[in-house]
Amino acid sequence: MNFTATERDTTVDQRALRPGRQLVDPEAEAYAIAHTSAWSDEVSALSAATQAEMPVPGLAAGKAESRLLEALVVATRAKRVLDVGTFTGVSALSIASRLPADGKVVTIEREPAPAALAHAHFYRSAHADKIELLVGDARQLISQVDGPFDLVFLDAWKRDYWAYFELVLPKLSGNGLIVADNVLWRGLAIDPPDDDPEAVGIRAFAERVQSDTRVENVMLTVGDGLLLIWRRRQP
């Protein structure tokens, strides 16, 4: 696998710390997770390491989100995937596990500590050759990677989602799909507090996508909310 570092910001990641509200009934959520296939041993080990070693382990993709990403890889027959916001690599490793032998997931993480944990687990996995990990600012790195991408997963700074979107849309394959995570932002996106730039940013992103005539979209209440986006069919 490839592991490339650029100039990086070493600020401690403070995403996802403000309390929100429960939008999905906990009993229904538990029932759904109980009826979702278990992770592979490799992804389970990475999730456990994330819980043990990261100060905010909840930033990692959950079982429902990562399994849905695997399903989308299968359904779209994706071969090239871009993962913006690696954190410790649960989503990237899940995606790689369903890619064909000649597939590739390019995954980008700004913070060196979670990237190092991701790299260690990627390197030991059976899918190392399918993963390219880049460390640095996604707004700079996206423009440097070659498309087209069949699937793009956005799970980095919410206030920058629109910038990521504008960078990845030209790199999307004809039937490609963009999946943006945390679009409910623990319910705070519904009525964003003025002092929460992430909530304000994710709400603004959703509104702009909704009115963008280049694409169509659907919002799901899976996990913390997923927004699926694809190109509008031209007449």
CA atoms of 26 and 184, how far apart (whole Å): 16
pLDDT, position 18: 64
* Residues 162 and 204 sit within 8 Å (Cβ to Cβ): yes
Instruction: Quote the Cα angle for 216-174-206, to 5°.
Output: 25
Contacts for 121 with CB less than 8 Å, ≥ 6 apart: 42, 45, 46, 49, 88, 89, 93
Claim: this prediction has a pTM higher than 0.85: yes
pLDDT, position 128: 96
Kindly list the averaged pLDDT for each block of 10 residues, start to end, along the chain of length 235.
45 52 86 93 95 89 92 97 97 97 97 96 96 96 96 95 98 97 93 90 96 97 94 86
In one-letter notation, the amino acid at residue 232 is: R
pLDDT, position 7: 38
pLDDT, position 17: 56
Complete domains list, the chain, with CATH: 2-6+24-231 (3.40.50.150)
